Amino acid sequence: MKMASRMKSDLAGVRVLLLEGFARQIMPLLQALHDLDCHVTTYNESKLDMGYVSRYPNKKLIEFWDRNDAQRSLEALRKVLKRDKYDVVIPMTDFSASILSQNKEELTQYSAIAVNDWDVFQMAIDKQNTMITCMEKGIPCPFTLRNVETLDDILKSELKYPFVIKPRTGYSSIGFHCIKNEEQLRRVVDGYVAVHGKMLVQEYIPQTDVQYKAQLFIDNDGNVKSAFVMNKSRWYPIDGGSSCCNTSVIRPDIVESSVKLLKAIGWRGYGDIDLIHDPRDGVAKIFEINPRITGSVKICFAAGVDFARQLVEFETGRAVTEYLDYKLDTCMRYMHTDILWFLQSPNRFKSEPSWFSFKNTTDQIFSLKDPWPFFTYSLQAIEKFGREMKRRKRS
DSSP string across 303-318: HT--HHHHHHHHHTTP
H helix count then E strand count, the chain: 15, 15
Q: Same domain, yes or no, for 365 and 220? A: yes
**Adjacent-strand bridge partners of 202:** 144, 164
Domain boundary among 153, 181, 203: 203
Quick check: 134 and 288 in contact, CB under 8 A? no
Q: Coil, helix or strand for 274? A: strand
Average pLDDT over residues 386-392: 57
**CATH code for position 92:** 3.40.50.720
pLDDT at 4 over 70: no
> Do the domain assignments include residue 91?
yes
Q: Same domain, yes or no, for 321 and 371? A: yes
Average pLDDT over residues 313-326: 97
Q: Is the peptide bond before 162 cis (omega within 30 degrees of 0)?
A: yes
pLDDT at 393: 58
User: How far is 340 from 357, CA to CA, in rounded Å?
Assistant: 16
What mean pLDDT value characterizes the chain? 93
CB-count exposure of residue 304 (10 Å: 0-12, 13-18, 19+): middle
Task: Identify which has the larger pLDDT, 148 or 221.
Answer: 221
Residue 138 half-sphere exposure toward CB, CA atoms < 13 A:
1
Domain boundary among 123, 156, 171: 123
**CATH code for position 274:** 3.30.470.20
pLDDT at 1: 44
pLDDT at 197: 86
pLDDT at 387 over 80: no
pLDDT tens by residue, 216-245? 999 999 999 999 999 998 988 887 678 899
pTM comes to 0.91
> Do the domain assignments include residue 395?
no
Q: Same domain, yes or no, for 345 and 220? A: yes
- The confidence band for 313, taking pLDDT boundaries of 50, 70 and 90, is very high
Q: Same domain, yes or no, for 217 and 357? A: yes
**CATH code for position 191:** 3.30.1490.20
Q: Same domain, yes or no, for 38 and 61? A: yes
Quick check: 165 and 92 in contact, CB under 8 A? no
pLDDT at 192: 87
Sequence-ordered list of residues with C-beta below 8 angstroms from that of 242, at least 6 positions apart, any chain:
172, 173, 235, 236, 295, 334, 337
Average pLDDT over residues 208-223: 92
Low-confidence winner among 124-133, 185-194, 278-287, 379-388 (lowest mean pLDDT): 379-388
pLDDT at 174: 80
DSSP 323: B
pLDDT at 29: 98
- The confidence band for 297, taking pLDDT boundaries of 50, 70 and 90, is very high
Quick check: 224 and 216 in contact, CB under 8 A? yes
Nearest partner of 276 among 170, 204, 177, judged by Cα: 204
> Do the domain assignments include residue 133?
no
Q: Same domain, yes or no, for 356 and 262? A: yes
Q: Same domain, yes or no, for 40 and 74? A: yes
Residue 267 half-sphere exposure toward CB, CA atoms < 13 A:
29
Quick check: 352 and 132 in contact, CB under 8 A? no
Strands 88-90 and 177-179: unpaired
CA 243 to chain centre: 11
CB-count exposure of residue 7 (10 Å: 0-12, 13-18, 19+): exposed
Q: Same domain, yes or no, for 106 and 164? A: no
User: How far is 19 from 30, CA to CA, in rounded Å?
Assistant: 11
> Do the domain assignments include residue 1?
no
pLDDT at 55 over 70: yes
> Do the domain assignments include residue 252?
yes
> Do the domain assignments include residue 69?
yes
The H or E element spanning position 157 is none
Average pLDDT over residues 247-272: 98
- How many structural domains comprise the chain? 3
pLDDT at 3 over 80: no
Average pLDDT over residues 85-102: 97
The amino acid occupying position 3 is M
22 lies in which domain range? Answer: 15-123
Average pLDDT over residues 37-57: 98
pLDDT at 194: 82
Average pLDDT over residues 244-271: 97
Q: CA dist 325 to 36, 224, 300, Å?
A: 20, 12, 11
Q: Same domain, yes or no, for 24 and 156? A: no
Q: Same domain, yes or no, for 87 and 184? A: no
pLDDT at 7: 86
Average pLDDT over residues 282-293: 95
> Do the domain assignments include residue 131?
no
Domain boundary among 180, 203, 226: 203
- The confidence band for 390, taking pLDDT boundaries of 50, 70 and 90, is low
Average pLDDT over residues 187-195: 87
Q: Same domain, yes or no, for 216 and 359? A: yes
> Do the domain assignments include residue 299?
yes
pLDDT at 277: 93
pLDDT at 265: 97
Q: Same domain, yes or no, for 106 and 187? A: no
Kindly report each contact of residues 111-115 with a partner whose C-beta sits within 8 Å and lies 24 or more positions away, as own/partner.
111/17, 111/81, 111/86, 111/87, 112/87, 112/88, 112/315, 112/316, 113/89, 113/315, 114/88, 114/89, 114/90, 114/269, 114/270, 114/311, 114/314, 114/315, 115/91, 115/269, 115/291, 115/292
